[in-house]
């Protein structure tokens, strides 16, 4: 029987690339997004249901899950992909921005997962692939919020993978490094106040690192392939690193203790002394 995946944030980047990849592999795809009326490409594909899902709107999550099951009979996999990056000094970041970052990147993952669990439990099968980041294992300065959410995704996914194993449901974490999407223009929400001069040297250094890092990113199809492997490999492997940069970085992180690794990062950002 043809299998079905539901993907959040399919309007661009990793979500869109993964929707196309699973479709090309013969899967049905429930390609969800906040504004499906703007979608022009995915609506033209057979076996793809484009429907509305805003992870901040609980009713839209349930409606998308119901629409997917009603259209394809069942859902076999969920990719929790919707997310964005709130960066900048905490002191200048509004509480609204803080709440929104955790709402989308963390509560969105939990709420969408909860909406599918009764279905997965009844089927005694299902795969949940949560898009974390290399930034879910290591941090850059001024990423208090983004890294806070991605570390949360790592922890919640790891614990949940134990909880759901007896139900026949697998949880997977995909950790992309820099991937060349529209993340910088669409999904980077950088707060700053130039008048707070104490933060400005670090702001400049971080911006100088992030821009070129994203420019040299791997293509989104690499993540799509990894999500496909994670969904179909029938293994208990929890984490999948995507990209040479993240494999090197996390390898280096594992090879050092905190003092050595964090000391290296402080030096890189001119924070020694
Ligand atoms: P992107 O192209 O900007 O895509 C972000 C997606 O999230 C968009 O489809 C956006 O939808 C959606 N989204 C935002 N808020 C949402 C909400 N409330 N409800 C539903 N969807 C929402 O960026 P991307 O690089 O593909 O990012 C996708 C995921 O990969 C994120 O979780 C990100 O943290 C992670 N990631 C990316 C990289 C990278 O280098 N690109 C690296 C590591 C991890 P709209 O079109 O409606 O805005």
pTM confidence score: 0.98
Query: In this predicted structure, what is the pLDDT of residue 183?
Result: 87
Query: Mean pLDDT by 10-residue block, N- to C-terminus, for the chain (273 residues)?
Result: 98 98 98 98 98 98 98 98 98 98 98 98 98 98 98 99 98 98 92 98 95 93 98 98 97 97 95 75
Atom of ligand 1 nearest to the CA of 223: 30
CA 80 to chain CA centroid, Å, is 6
Active site residues: 132, 146, 150
Query: In this predicted structure, what is the pLDDT of residue 273?
Result: 55
Ligand 1 centroid, distance to 35 Cα (angstroms):
14
Ligand 1 centroid, distance to 81 Cα (angstroms):
6
Atom of ligand 1 nearest to the CA of 182: 2
Query: In this predicted structure, what is the pLDDT of residue 150?
Result: 98
CA distances from 113 to 107, 126, 139, 146, 259 (A): 10, 11, 26, 20, 36
14 lines ligand 1 (CB under 6 A): yes
217 lines ligand 1 (CB under 6 A): yes
Query: In this predicted structure, what is the pLDDT of residue 272?
Result: 76
Ligand 1 centroid, distance to 259 Cα (angstroms):
33
Query: In this predicted structure, what is the pLDDT of residue 271?
Result: 93
Ligand 1 centroid, distance to 221 Cα (angstroms):
15
131 lines ligand 1 (CB under 6 A): yes
In the chain, the domains with their CATH numbers are 4-268 (3.40.50.720)
Q: Which mutation among 41, 82, 151 tests ligand 1's pocket best, with the greatest number of atoms within 8 A of CB?
A: 82
Atom of ligand 1 nearest to the CA of 104: 18
Q: Which mutation among 7, 8, 13 tests ligand 1's pocket best, with the greatest number of atoms within 8 A of CB?
A: 13
243 lines ligand 1 (CB under 6 A): no
Atom of ligand 1 nearest to the CA of 84: 34
């Amino acid at each position: 029987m043809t299998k079905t995946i539901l993907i959040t944030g399919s309007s661009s980047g990793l979500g869109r690339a993964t929707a196309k990849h699973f479709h090309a592999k013969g899967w049905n795809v429930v390609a969800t997004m906040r504004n499906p009326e703007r979608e022009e490409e995915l609506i033209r594909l057979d076996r793809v249901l484009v429907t509305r899902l805003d992870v901040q709107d609980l009713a839209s999550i349930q409606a998308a899950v119901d629409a997917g099951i009603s259209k394809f009979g069942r859902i076999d996999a969920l990719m929790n992909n919707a997310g964005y990056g709130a960066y900048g000094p905490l002191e200048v970041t509004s509480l609204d921005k803080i709440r929104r970052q955790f709402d989308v990147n963390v509560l969105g993952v939990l709420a969408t997962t909860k909406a599918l669990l009764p279905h997965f439990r009844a089927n005694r099968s299902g795969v949940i692939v949560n898009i974390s980041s290399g930034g879910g294992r290591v941090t850059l300065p001024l990423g208090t919020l983004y890294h806070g959410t991605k570390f949360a995704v790592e922890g919640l996914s790891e614990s949940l993978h134990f909880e759901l194993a007896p139900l026949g449901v697998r949880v997977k974490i995909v950790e992309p490094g820099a991937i060349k999407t529209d993340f910088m223009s669409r999904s980077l929400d950088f707060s700053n106040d130039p008048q707070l001069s104490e933060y400005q040297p670090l702001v400049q250094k971080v911006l100088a690192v992030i821009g070129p890092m994203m420019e040299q990113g791997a293509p989104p199809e690499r993540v799509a392939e990894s999500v496909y492997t994670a969904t179909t490999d029938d293994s208990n492997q929890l984490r999948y690193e995507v990209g040479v940069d993240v494999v090197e970085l996390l390898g280096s992180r594992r090879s050092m203790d905190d003092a050595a690794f964090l000391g290296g990062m402080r030096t890189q950002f001119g924070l020694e002394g």
